[in-house]
Every structure is written in structure tokens, then in C-alpha cells.
Amino acid sequence: MIGIINYRMGNLRSVQKAFEHVGASCLLLDAPGMIDRATKLVLPGVGAFGDGMKHLDEDGWIDPIRRFIQQGGPFLGICLGMQLLMESSTEDAPATDRPISGLGLIPGRVVRFEGESFGPGKLKVPHMGWNTLNQATPHCPLWQGLPESPSVYFVHSFFAQPTQQKVTAATADYGGQFCAAIQHENILATQFHPEKSQQTGLTMLRNFARIKRS
């Protein structure tokens, strides 16, 4: 059973319908006590980092999520759900040197598209639409059955910068390479939206549903 965490942040039903389309059993988890009913967890999300962490904290999700991952449960973060895995983010922060703390499950930070490569005068922010993935980890379980450089759908103004390059499972180019997917032990995460990426995204969700808990 795939549990989809309902922390009041976005496109939960779209993710649920996409999993159901590929024949996966899934359940919206409305409270942390429901995690025991799930063998895999998905943290989707649309919106701001600060609101996401606030809702996870207020609704009591933080410790149960960390415990599930520490116990080896397969975990998938999508878009904001990927960013929240990081140590911190400058989104909603009072200053760039005073970032907002994240779940801290992946070393690194979340930053905005800006500077010489990104932002006004170069490329539009948010990064919205289809873009090509460059697979940095060819054996990532999400990529099974996909071409080497599939196209997927993005909507975001911020992106993750992992401290360790080895956890980057894929990159994409938007005025420069950025981390588009992560693989770290039993954690998988995508900055793009598999549920909006047509057959390519459905293949990824089917692959996640087939992962067996070690």
C-alpha cells in the first residue's frame, strides 16, 4: 500500500489518480497515525517551502516521516516534497543567511533560480514546462524502461543543491545544470511532476510501486 501524505499542500488527488492508473494500491494519509497502513510513502506538494514545513510540523508528520525512512521504507518526494527533504531553503527566509530549516534527510539546501545563469534577463522564473532529464545515476529504479533522456514536466522557482553530488540521480538544464532528481538509500525524489509527465511519468510511478521494501 502506497501512502500519500496529506499535509494540506497541493496536488494530492492528481498523484493518487496517477498511481491508481498504473494499478497501484494507494491511500491518502490524513493523519500520522495512518502511516502504519502504508508500506511506501509519497510526499507530494505544490507551494512554498515555509508553508510546507509549517504544516508538517503542526500536523505532527516530521518524526513519523523520519522514522519511516530510518526503518528502510521506500519514500518518494515530488516537487516541494523533494525540496522539503533538504536541510534548509532560502524560500520564505528573512535573509539568505537565515534560511528556513527542512527535514534534514538529504544534506544540502534549496535556492532560487537567479544570478548570472538564471533569472530576469536570462530565463523566465518559474521554470515551467517540459525539459529533458540527464540521467546521472543510470541504475536508479525510477528510470527502468525509459529512454536515456526522457522529457518531464516542471513547475518551480527553487531547486535543491545537494551537498554530495552522488545523490543526484538526474539533472536538467535551465540556464545551467540543476538537480532534477535524487536517490539516496531508500529515498527517491523528483523536482518535476511525474503525475503530469504523461507516459514517462506513469512509468516512473509504476516503477516506484514495484519497489520491494528491504
> Which of 82, 100, 96 lies closest to 142 in space, CA to CA?
82
Q: Between the ranges 82-96, 116-130, 194-208, where is the mean pLDDT highest? A: 194-208
CB 148 within 8 A of CB 94: no
CB 167 within 8 A of CB 183: yes
Which of 79, 91, 140, 184 does the annotation list as catalytic?
79
DSSP 2: E
pLDDT band with cut points at 50, 70 and 90 for residue 196: very high
pLDDT given at position 121: 58
Is pLDDT above 60 for 116? no
Average pLDDT over residues 194-207: 98
Task: Render pLDDT for 63-86 as a digit per residue (tens, 0 to 9).
Answer: 999 999 999 999 999 999 999 999
At which residue does the C-alpha cell 510546507 appear?
52
Is pLDDT above 60 for 135? yes
pLDDT given at position 10: 79
pLDDT band with cut points at 50, 70 and 90 for residue 11: confident
Is pLDDT above 60 for 176? yes
For 36, the 3-state DSSP assignment is helix
Look up 195 and say whether it is catalytic.
yes
pLDDT band with cut points at 50, 70 and 90 for residue 20: very high
Average pLDDT over residues 6-11: 88
Number of domain units in the chain: 1
What's 38's domain CATH number?
A: 3.40.50.880
Which of 55, 127, 184, 193 does the annotation list as catalytic?
193
Is pLDDT above 60 for 9? yes
pLDDT given at position 53: 97
CB 174 within 8 A of CB 123: yes
DSSP 10: S
Is pLDDT above 60 for 42? yes
Number of CB atoms found within 10 A of residue 214's CB: 8
Domain interval for residue 153:
2-210
Look up 148 and say whether it is catalytic.
no
Look up 79 and say whether it is catalytic.
yes
Taking the model in full, what pTM does it have? 0.95
